[in-house]
Amino acid sequence: MKMQGAEALIESLKNEGVEVVFGYPGGSVLTLYDALYKTKFPHVLTKHEQGAIHAADGYARVTGKVGVCIATSGPGATNLITGIATAYMDSVPLVAITGQVGVALIGRDSFQEADICGITTPISKHNYLVKRVQDLPRVIKEAFYIARTGRPGPVVIDIAKDVFAATLDYEYPDSVNLRGYSPLYAGDPDSLKMAVQKIKQAKKPLIFVGGGVNISNTAKELRQLVKATGIPVVSSLMGLGAITGDAVEHLGMVGMHGTYAANMATVECDLLLGVGVRFDDRVTGSTEHFAPKAKIIHFDIDPAEINKNIRADLRIVGDLAWSLPLLNTLIIENGAENKGQLAPWRDQVVAWKQERPMNYKPRDGIVMPQQVIAKISELAPDAVIVTDVGQHQMWAAQFYNFSRERTFVTSGGLGTMGYGLPAAIGAQIGLPKKQVIAFCGDGGIMMNCQELATAANNGFPIKVIVMNNQVLGMVSQWQRLFYGERYSHTSIKGQTDFVKLAEAMGVIGLRITKPEDLEPILIKAIETPGPVLVDVALPADEDVVPMVPPGGCLDKMILGEW
């Protein structure tokens, strides 16, 4: 079938099951946008290319599908860089389609030319420069395959302008055969048998759950493992939701801002099962003193992650969709479930939970940030929670009771301020019937605040809670604790009226300044159709605690006054 390259691209997206693309037009992609117009392919116009890729990222995280965004050449493509790096760090399946100058102009510093393949090589799973229209169907097929298989990640397809207008006999490939790329699904069953023996011998085992469980859709199998063995569980930031937050076995998030019980259990356990984790520095603190008494079993699909940060005593390489079901079967066959010998250990971790539960010290007449998160958890227990980055992100992790996988959307590895608002838009499109609530700091919201207009223009019913403490909260906290209270350029007091900003972009704006208004205004926001922004006045000097100083040991926490 004869068609233009632009038409072939759209037909290929349909063949890959793509439901929507996010983007921003420009000169090098005009032919593509003309084809989008003619075919009426679903497209969300954001106000900035960074908004487009973060929206595609949020969509991918809540649905498990590949998110797709489009940008023009030069500045359009380079505006995607932060989003590509964000997705790469958190293993999010994306395909970023960028326009490039015409083939004859490549390499000549032409108008709006940038070597996007060279720029994105370190921060993408793979990238392509397409200069022949005949290559387009194959490249798209490969790109989606690479993005979604193995350890997921972003793939960049840079397409020369004249490729979109050129014609080809279109045929979409049935399969992919990539030399040198064969993602491992099933690993060595004997390694799982060894893991079962170590579980049977352990007196103080602990399961450390990471984002890989959510990515691989194996939360059900994880919960079966916990139910069968009674082993306590700690979560990384990206692992939250894989196990019900209020489950008796769940000790909460571990690491720099982890719970007292989770950190103490990690220090004292004699066997640590790291499931879909990469042992990030925010979790481990001092690697020399991380889980010092434990043998470590590391489950991961990416062999490059094993022994990269923490030395594993047993490595189990393969998809969790292979390893966790088989592990559960072997545990039952070998009588390793519900071991009575764990009773003292379970009593100990429960005692830690009771000794230092997550709490905060109220202040008269002042709305506390933890109170806001806890109230949202009460009012919207089944919501999809999206955050920006900073103190509010940690409070959300600590005080919202996540009960399902893929309900917590946040930038973990890169820590991207400005992520929350556009990611919430993508999450809402991916799950149109779900309540989507975005927590943003008064610093981070300004980095992509233009996407409020995107929400208003399309009627996306996201609720944006601006945690307004009039400082760059986490940076200010570090200055307070480690830099002698020298608050260098972290005060943003009175710089923006967020209610007026929201209203200027067509979004309803509400404000909370006192505790008695918290519940009624939050209820009003949740019940109001369409997008709503709530500006919540918070104290500037509230710290996120517990806190393990950078490079410190997990049992040496700053606990604060509760």
List, in order of start, the domains of the chain with CATH numbers: 2-169 (3.40.50.970), 189-355 (3.40.50.1220), 369-537 (3.40.50.970)
* Alpha-carbon separation of residue 483 from 443, 480, 488 (angstroms): 20, 6, 10
What integer pLDDT is reported at residue 101 of this predicted model?
98
What integer pLDDT is reported at residue 338 of this predicted model?
63
On the question of pLDDT at 562 being above 70, the answer is no
Phi, psi of 292 (to 5 degrees): -65, -20
pLDDT digits (tens, 9 = 90+) for 539-551: 999 999 999 999 8
* Alpha-carbon separation of residue 416 from 166, 369, 448, 487, 523 (angstroms): 38, 21, 11, 22, 29
**196-217: buried (b, 16+ CB within 10 Å) or exposed (e) per residue?**
bebbbebebbbbbbbbbbbbbe
Q: Which of 253, 474, 505, 547 is catalytic?
A: 474
Q: Which two tokens stand for residue 95?
A: 């395909």
Q: Is 112 a catalytic residue?
A: yes
**226-258: buried (b, 16+ CB within 10 Å) or exposed (e) per residue?**
beebbbbbbbbbbbbbbbbbeeebbbbbbbbbb
Task: Give the C-alpha separation, 85 to 57, whole Å.
Answer: 11
Q: Which of 47, 125, 141, 161 is catalytic?
A: 161
Q: Which of 112, 371, 391, 393 is catalytic?
A: 112
Average pLDDT over residues 32-44: 98
CA–CA–CA angle 83, 179, 15 (5° rounding): 55
Q: Is 556 a catalytic residue?
A: no
Q: Is 111 a catalytic residue?
A: yes
Task: Give the C-alpha separation, 150 to 160, whole Å.
Answer: 29
Average pLDDT, the chain: 96
Average pLDDT over residues 288-292: 95
Q: Which of 111, 341, 516, 556 is catalytic?
A: 111
Q: Which of 7, 11, 16, 49 is catalytic?
A: 49
On the question of pLDDT at 256 being above 80, the answer is yes
Q: Is 238 a catalytic residue?
A: no
CA torsion sign for 213, 214, 220, 224 is positive
Residue 68: helix, strand or coil by DSSP? Answer: strand
pLDDT digits (tens, 9 = 90+) for 429-473: 999 999 999 999 999 999 999 999 999 999 999 999 999 999 999
pLDDT band at 182 (very low <50, low <70, confident <90, very high): confident
Residue 246: helix, strand or coil by DSSP? Answer: coil
Residues 6+ apart with CB under 8 A from 548: 255, 256, 257, 258, 263, 285, 554, 556, 557, 558
Task: Give the C-alpha separation, 120 to 127, whole Å.
Answer: 8
Kindly state the percentage of the chain with pLDDT values over 90. 96
pLDDT band at 340 (very low <50, low <70, confident <90, very high): confident
Average pLDDT over residues 24-30: 98
Residues 6+ apart with CB under 8 A from 402: 240, 241, 244, 245, 385, 408
pLDDT band at 275 (very low <50, low <70, confident <90, very high): very high
Note the residue count of the chain. Answer: 562
pLDDT band at 81 (very low <50, low <70, confident <90, very high): very high
Q: Is 358 a catalytic residue?
A: no
Q: Which two tokens stand for residue 428?
A: 């809402």
On the question of pLDDT at 35 being above 80, the answer is yes
Q: What is the enclosing helix (H) or strand (E) of 321?
A: helix 320-333
Judge if pTM exceeds 0.85.
yes
* Alpha-carbon separation of residue 526 from 133, 376, 438, 462, 501 (angstroms): 48, 9, 12, 9, 19
Q: How far is CA 421 from the centre of its chain?
A: 13
